[in-house]
Amino acid sequence: MNRRHKLTAQQTLDITQKLKDSKYITYNRSDCSYLSDEQFNDAPQVVAALKTLDVFNGLTTDTAQKSAAFDSKKVTAHTAIIPTTNMPDLSRLTDKEKAVYLAIAQFYLAQFVAKKRYDESIAEIKCGDEMFKVSARKTTDAGFTTFLNDAEEDDEEDENSTAFEAISRLQTGATLTCREVVISEKKTKPLPLFTEATLLAALVRVADFVADPRIKKLLKEKDKDKKDEHGGIGTPATRAAIIETLKTRDYITVEKGKFIPTAAGLALIDALPDSVTQPDMTAVWAEKQAAVETGEMTIERFIDGLYAEVSRLVESADIAISATEKQPVKTALNRLAVKCPSCGSELVMTPKTCACTGCQFKIWLEVRGKKLTEKQAEKLIGKGKTDVIKGFKSKKNDDTYSMIVTLKNAQTGELGFEYPPRDPLKGLNVSMPKELKL
């Protein structure tokens, strides 16, 4: 709804709540994508009711066609959101209400419209010791995709009829000539800023953003019974509220449909313990809850551990707040004199980072045990490298050494290091006369 109709998650939730209260749709706070077998039996009545609306009148459907969406074994606490047999007067709905209702109705009716059909050509080509695989599709019957008419649905497979025809002409065992090999040099780009739609999608698959294999596995196991969810944060009802809270508290702002963290938001993340800002805690508590379910842990032990962890976090927060109060507040949100090398926006310096207010550029101020000063950070970003800095700590022992910090990637903030130039006379016993007379 956000991509096509520019509705926020909260607006969509409010509208579906109103539609549900009017008994036009089923329970609206469900995160399930499946329907029960009983609902399949009720489909003829629901489809017939929907066809009384002018917008669906004349649509060809087959209520005997049972799609994969109807599976009682995959239904969780609630089924997917679908229309009821109680039809609204579309003329009395607002444009936004009508858009939401029709989207729900369209996706329900799509279960009974002809399936999309296509031909696919696949070829495996051996070049030297390497095997390459290429494929292409050609649609023969658009089916339900024509009916949905881009209703928030993206075709995951790129269709290329020219490529399909070319691959189809290949013969098994044929010998081809490799005419040209091209190596393209490209630069990595920072991840795009979140929109309302992409952030909501990310909140249901947090495991995709986790590098730790154990945490990733725990997050996926937490949602193993939920389609397309991998360590989801929140529920369909609370995710909208989470985003709205970030907006109202001025932690994020919206510019051209994209979410941008504010200076206050960046400072908040820097002030919080790392365990609170990472999804690891979600995975760990899910693991403990699973242990309670299997009897490996008592509920009392679980609650005691929860209280202990919360107490520890509160104490660490109190200490951080006390330390912050001793300094002027403006130091946490100090703006640098240089601009972001990636997008040209303002840079904000917090106790831990120097981050852009307009994109995802960020550098960590503590490098190998040495914290960069404001002037060093400004020179690093503005000139691409610092002067020689002393005091970097060795990982092997307590020795310190000097280095030049470089900005390796101006898009992401990745840092590099250079050894300072060596003095060719260092270590040699050479005396130079103070004054030469000719």
For the beta carbon of residue 179, count every other beta carbon within 10 angstroms: 5
**Residue 104: which of 123, 116, 124, 90 has the closest Cα?**
90
Q: What is the pLDDT of residue 159?
A: 63
Contact 335, 348 (CB under 8 A): yes
320 and 205 both lie in a single domain: yes
319 and 242 both lie in a single domain: yes
Q: What is the DSSP letter of 420?
A: P
In a domain, 146, yes or no: no
225 and 124 both lie in a single domain: no
202 and 280 both lie in a single domain: yes
Residue environment code for 336-357, b if the CB has 16+ CB neighbours within 10 A, otherwise e: bebebbbeeeebbbbbbbbbbb
Count how many domains the chain has: 4
Packing angle, helices 95-109 and 43-50, rounded to 10: 140
Contact 38, 103 (CB under 8 A): no
CA atoms of 282 and 428, how far apart (whole Å) = 60
How far from 67 is each of 17, 36, 39, 107, 282, CA to CA, in Å? 27, 11, 12, 12, 34
In a domain, 247, yes or no: yes
Q: Is pTM beyond 0.75 here?
A: no
124 and 238 both lie in a single domain: no
Locate tokens 């696949």: which residue? 122
In a domain, 182, yes or no: no
Interval 55-81: pLDDT, tens: 999 899 999 999 999 999 888 888 999
Annotated catalytic residues are 27
Q: What is the DSSP letter of 83?
A: B
Q: What is the pLDDT of residue 412?
A: 80
Which of 292, 326, 360 delimits the end of a domain? Answer: 326
In a domain, 191, yes or no: no
CATH assignment at residue 38: 1.10.290.10
Contact 250, 244 (CB under 8 A): no
Q: What is the pLDDT of residue 62?
A: 93
Q: What is the pLDDT of residue 153?
A: 46
CA atoms of 310 and 289, how far apart (whole Å) = 16
For the beta carbon of residue 6, count every other beta carbon within 10 angstroms: 12
In a domain, 391, yes or no: yes
250 and 299 both lie in a single domain: yes
For the beta carbon of residue 328, count every other beta carbon within 10 angstroms: 9
In a domain, 214, yes or no: yes
281 and 337 both lie in a single domain: no
Task: Give phi and psi for 354, each to the nearest 5.
Answer: -125, 115
61 and 18 both lie in a single domain: yes
- Which residues span the domain enclosing 308? 196-326
| Residue 339 φ/ψ region, left for φ over 0, alpha for ψ in the -120 to 50 degree band, beta for the rest | beta
CATH assignment at residue 265: 1.10.460.10
In a domain, 423, yes or no: no
202 and 319 both lie in a single domain: yes
Task: Please give the average pLDDT of every successive group of 10 residues along the chain, which has 438 residues.
Answer: 81 93 93 90 95 91 93 88 95 94 94 89 88 88 76 51 85 86 82 89 83 79 69 79 89 89 86 77 77 84 79 67 46 72 83 79 84 90 90 76 87 84 57 43
51 and 128 both lie in a single domain: no
350 and 414 both lie in a single domain: yes
Q: What is the pLDDT of residue 417?
A: 85
How far from 52 is each of 19, 108, 147, CA to CA, in Å? 18, 15, 17
In a domain, 173, yes or no: no
65 and 128 both lie in a single domain: no
What ranges make up the beta strands (E) of 128-239? 130-141
Q: What is the pLDDT of residue 435?
A: 46
